[in-house]
């Protein structure tokens, strides 16, 4: 059996998305910046996709800007807001994705900002009182906090952070890559200045995403070279990716309740099976379903010989999972997220992340393999 439990890293392309992309690939090849009929036809395709996304998120199409994915969107929001609004202070957490952490650390190193880290507890939850203290005692700030942690699944209350940020005239950016398409986002109500999406996290194509820029905040482009995206992002648009992204989000919204129920059922079933079959297993992050991303389960296993081989042995058994953020794969550096919450470094941890395509049979197979591996290594 082949099992894919690494959906927080990327998801399989939905066949309906591929069909939608193929329609455009087959017949609409013009450059959307060209004024002739071939170009205008493709421009219409892009704007239709933009309108679809904006309608689903309850915002204006003028606030949606297509990018190559979440990392570019995060970099644009962070770098441009700091530079264009002359901010000298930024607040984030030590649990953020490296697209945020490394960007802010590089800007701090350049001398442009002072960087502060809001406290988080051992489940990865933000200390909202400490966030307010940091905002009170510093210059106007950028607040950058992700909606749901990509390794732990712990959710941050965007409404609460938005209210706190507004009270101190802060700019609020959230990396929402793990939650767009999995939860409803009403941008007419959320007090967000920037949010991001990557299509491949919701059964869309890789290399396509968007940055939502609230009309209340103005920034200059990070990428120059053309007038694309209403002068906000130079470079010919990834037309096929944009079409696939819009279709993926449309499907996600139309099927959201059913998929959430199915995936939450898979997650709960796996947690119960692990507790039943693997003595000593514990779970990292928030386990309350109302405060945790339903697609992610992070488990720590008992100390064992060759702990660093656990993921390799799962792979040999045909099971794909992750030890942390996919962007860290292939390095010798452990998870900065698990380090930040004080997890035991001697216990191997595995992030299992689920999609609409996973089954309980796959869970049974995976738990049986894990039980064998833990017994052999005990």
Q: What is the DSSP letter of 326?
A: G
Cα–Cα dist 1/319, whole Å:
8
**Residue 11 structure tokens:** 């998801």
Residue 160 to residues 13, 143, 145, 180: CA-CA distances in angstroms? 34, 13, 12, 18
- The torsion defined by the Cα of 286, 292, 296 and 297, in degrees rounded to 10, comes to 30
**Residue 330 structure tokens:** 């292939």
**Residue 327 designated active-site:** yes
**Residue 248 structure tokens:** 């993926």
| 243 in Cβ contact with 45 (< 8 Å) | yes
Q: Which of 80, 197, 327, 374 is catalytic?
A: 327
Residue 163 to residues 145, 170, 190, 191: CA-CA distances in angstroms? 14, 10, 9, 7
Task: Please name every residue paired with 142 in a beta bridge, in sequence order, or none if there are none.
Answer: 90, 171
At 197, is the secondary structure helix, strand, or coil? Answer: strand
Cα–Cα dist 301/374, whole Å:
8
**CB neighbours (10 Å) of residue 110?**
8
**Residue 42 structure tokens:** 């493709």
Cα–Cα dist 49/32, whole Å:
13
Residues involved in catalysis: 327
């Amino acid at each position: 059996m082949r099992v894919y439990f690494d959906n927080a890293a990327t998801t399989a392309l939905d066949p309906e998305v591929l069909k939608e992309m193929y329609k455009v690939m087959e017949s609409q090849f013009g450059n959307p910046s060209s004024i002739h009929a071939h170009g205008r036809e493709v421009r219409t395709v892009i704007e239709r996709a933009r309108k679809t996304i904006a309608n689903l998120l309850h915002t204006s199409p003028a606030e949606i800007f297509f990018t190559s994915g979440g990392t570019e969107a995060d970099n644009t929001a962070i770098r441009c807001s700091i530079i264009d609004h002359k901010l000298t202070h930024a607040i984030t957490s030590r649990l953020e994705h490296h697209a945020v952490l490394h960007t802010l650390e590089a800007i701090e190193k350049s001398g442009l900002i002072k960087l502060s880290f809001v406290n988080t507890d051992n489940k990865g939850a933000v200390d909202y009182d400490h966030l307010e203290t940091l905002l009170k005692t510093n210059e106007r700030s950028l607040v950058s906090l992700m909606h749901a942690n990509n390794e732990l699944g712990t959710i941050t209350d965007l409404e609460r952070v938005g209210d706190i940020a507004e009270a101190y005239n802060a700019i609020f950016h959230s990396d929402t890559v793990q939650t767009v398409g999995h939860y409803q986002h009403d941008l007419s109500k959320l007090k967000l200045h920037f949010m991001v999406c990557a299509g491949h996290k919701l059964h869309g194509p890789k290399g396509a995403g968007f940055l939502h820029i609230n009309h209340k905040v103005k920034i200059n482009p990070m990428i120059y070279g053309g007038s694309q995206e209403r002068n906000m992002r130079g470079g010919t648009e990834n037309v096929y990716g944009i079409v696939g992204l819009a279709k993926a989000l449309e499907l996600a919204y139309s099927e959201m309740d059913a998929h959430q129920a199915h995936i939450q059922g898979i997650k709960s079933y796996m947690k119960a099976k692990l507790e039943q079959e693997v003595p000593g297993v514990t779970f990292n992050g928030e386990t309350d379903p109302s405060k945790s991303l339903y697609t992610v389960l992070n488990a720590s296993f008992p100390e064992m010989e060759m702990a660093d081989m656990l993921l390799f042995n799962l792979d040999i058994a045909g099971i794909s999972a992750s030890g942390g953020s996919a962007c860290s794969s292939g390095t010798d550096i452990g998870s900065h997220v698990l380090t930040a919450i004080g997890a035991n470094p001697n216990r191997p941890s595995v992030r299992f992340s689920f999609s609409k395509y996973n089954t309980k049979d796959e869970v049974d197979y995976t738990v049986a393999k894990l039980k064998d591996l833990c017994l052999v290594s005990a």
